[in-house]
Structures are given as structure tokens and as C-alpha cells.
């Protein structure tokens, strides 16, 4: 840009000089991800088709009878969500890396954690959409009603924790050789401590166990979320550092 043009440019509004707030920066990243997804519909559709296939595989591999179906539907739901989630996480971070978008994002004058929280929210939304579609499908296929009010907090906490730690791990795995292979290997042992209480809480709800008895699982889900997201928040800077 020449000096001439520099002079002619209107004065920058004072508000624009202020550093962007964490929330606004994260929201911008989520918005970018959602718009890209809305146009391509690549990630969610791939996750969804994969999830449906996984449900098919589970129901034929486990040869459910009626009681078996009821007992294991919570497990099938979470296993499916976790595998589909891994797919989505790998894509969401991998795409940033491949297109060089990650470097661009890192150059922007915002806090690095905005990037983490933005990607986390995007992944949470993608997995949430898949879960919302899976619930009615599984209710029909497994003849078990997933529509219970408390299933919502169980899903939110489970998906949030998984996306929370998954975003951190996926942002490491994209730098490795053979990253698609490495992501589940790195993520699944870590995610087990979210999966255990999530499956337990969901199964308890489906079996109609009173909430008081399930509270311990919800507490544990909440505690795991807090620990993982706090850890990821502190460690993410070191992962994307150049």
C-alpha cells in the first residue's frame, strides 16, 4: 500500500483498535466453521453416515434380542458418538492445517485460547447435531425411548468433555505422520474417563433409575469436564506454538 493510499484511508474507529475479546474471537471462529460446514455439509454428513453404519454393525455384531437391546443401547449410542466424533475432530482440525488456515488464525492478534474455545464449540455443535439425529433413529431401531429430559444434560456433558479433550489431542495429531491413524489411538484412552460416567448415566436414565442414584455419574462427568477443559486451556498455547 502506497503512502498516498495510507493517507486517504479513513481513520480507524477507536473500537477497532481495542483487542478483540476472547468471546468475540471464539465466536468468529465458530461462525466461520459453521458457515463452511453449511456450504459443504462435509463433516456432519460424513459423521452421520458413519454413525448409522456403526449402529448397523453393532446391532448385527451383537445379535440383540429384546432385553439385550435395552441393556446395551446406551453403550451403542456412546460408542457410535465417540467414533463419529473422532472423525469430526480429525476433519475439523485437519482442514485448518491443510489449507494453511491454522497459520492465518495464529497470526491474528487474538488470544490463542480463543482458537481453542472456538474449535471446541464447533466440534461440540457438530457432535451435538449428530447426537440429536441419532436419538430418534435409535429410539426407533432399538425400540427404546431416548426421549427423557435428563438425557439432555448427560449428552451435553459427555459431548462437551469429549470435544474438550478431543480438540486438544486433534490439534496435536494433525502435525504427526499418519494423523488419521494416530488420533483415535491418542484420544480413546484419554476419553475413557468421560465415556464411563456418560454411559452409566445414560443407561441409568433409560432403565428409569431415579436421579438421586445417578447423581454420582453426573458429578463425575462435570468434574471430568472441568479438569480436561482447564488442562486443555492451559496446554493449548504450547501445542500451537511455532
Rule CB under 8 A: which residues touch another protein?
A: 165, 168-169, 172-173, 175-179, 182, 185-186, 188-190, 192-193, 196-197, 200, 216-217, 220, 223-224, 227-228, 231-232, 235, 238-239, 241
C-alpha 169/C-alpha 7 separation (Å) is: 46
Helix (H) or strand (E) holding 3: helix 3-8
Quote the least distance from Cβ 168 to another protein, whole Å. 7
Quote the least distance from Cβ 180 to another protein, whole Å. 11
Residue number, 62 or 216, with CB nearest to another protein: 216
Residue number, 132 or 223, with CB nearest to another protein: 223
Helix (H) or strand (E) holding 59: helix 42-61
Measured CA distances, 223 to 57, 161, 214, 229 (Å): 32, 10, 15, 10
Quote the least distance from Cβ 236 to another protein, whole Å. 9
Helix (H) or strand (E) holding 236: helix 211-240
Residue number, 59 or 173, with CB nearest to another protein: 173
Residue number, 91 or 200, with CB nearest to another protein: 200
C-alpha 116/C-alpha 71 separation (Å) is: 36
Neighbours of 165 (CB within 10 A): 24
What is the DSSP secondary structure assignment for residue 208, as one 8-state letter? T
- Could you tell me the end-to-end alpha-carbon distance of the chain, in angstroms, rounded to an integer? 28
C-alpha 225/C-alpha 163 separation (Å) is: 10
Please name which of 13, 14, 31 lies closest in space to residue 23, comparing C-alpha atoms.
31
Quote the least distance from Cβ 46 to another protein, whole Å. 23
Quote the least distance from Cβ 196 to another protein, whole Å. 4
Residue number, 134 or 229, with CB nearest to another protein: 229
C-alpha 70/C-alpha 142 separation (Å) is: 7
Residue number, 47 or 168, with CB nearest to another protein: 168
Quote the least distance from Cβ 156 to another protein, whole Å. 18
Quote the least distance from Cβ 43 to another protein, whole Å. 23
Neighbours of 151 (CB within 10 A): 19
Residue number, 53 or 230, with CB nearest to another protein: 230
Amino acid at each position: 500500500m502506497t503512502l498516498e493510499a495510507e493517507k486517504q484511508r479513513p481513520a480507524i474507529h477507536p473500537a477497532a483498535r481495542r483487542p478483540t475479546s476472547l468471546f468475540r474471537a471464539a465466536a468468529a471462529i465458530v461462525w466461520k466453521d459453521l458457515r463452511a460446514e453449511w456450504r459443504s455439509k462435509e463433516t456432519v454428513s460424513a459423521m452421520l453416515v458413519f454413525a448409522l453404519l456403526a449402529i448397523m454393525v453393532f446391532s448385527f455384531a451383537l445379535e440383540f434380542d429384546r432385553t439385550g437391546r435395552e441393556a446395551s443401547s446406551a453403550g451403542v449410542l456412546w460408542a457410535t458418538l465417540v467414533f463419529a466424533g473422532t472423525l469430526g475432530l480429525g476433519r475439523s482440525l485437519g482442514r485448518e492445517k491443510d489449507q494453511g488456515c491454522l497459520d492465518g488464525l495464529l497470526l491474528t492478534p487474538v488470544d490463542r485460547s480463543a482458537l481453542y474455545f472456538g474449535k471446541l464449540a464447533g466440534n461440540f455443535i457438530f457432535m451435538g447435531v449428530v447426537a440429536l439425529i441419532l436419538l430418534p433413529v435409535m429410539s426407533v431401531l432399538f425400540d427404546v425411548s431416548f426421549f427423557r429430559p435428563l438425557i439432555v444434560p448427560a449428552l451435553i456433558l459427555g459431548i462437551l468433555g469429549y470435544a474438550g479433550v478431543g480438540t486438544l489431542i486433534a490439534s496435536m495429531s494433525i502435525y504427526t505422520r499418519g494423523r488419521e491413524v494416530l488420533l483415535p489411538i491418542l484420544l480413546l484412552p484419554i476419553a475413557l474417563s468421560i465415556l464411563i460416567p456418560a454411559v452409566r448415566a445414560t443407561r441409568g436414565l433409560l432403565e428409569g433409575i431415579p436421579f438421586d442414584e445417578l447423581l454420582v455419574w453426573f458429578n463425575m462427568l462435570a468434574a471430568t469436564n472441568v479438569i480436561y477443559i482447564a488442562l486443555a486451556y492451559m496446554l493449548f498455547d504450547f501445542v500451537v506454538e511455532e
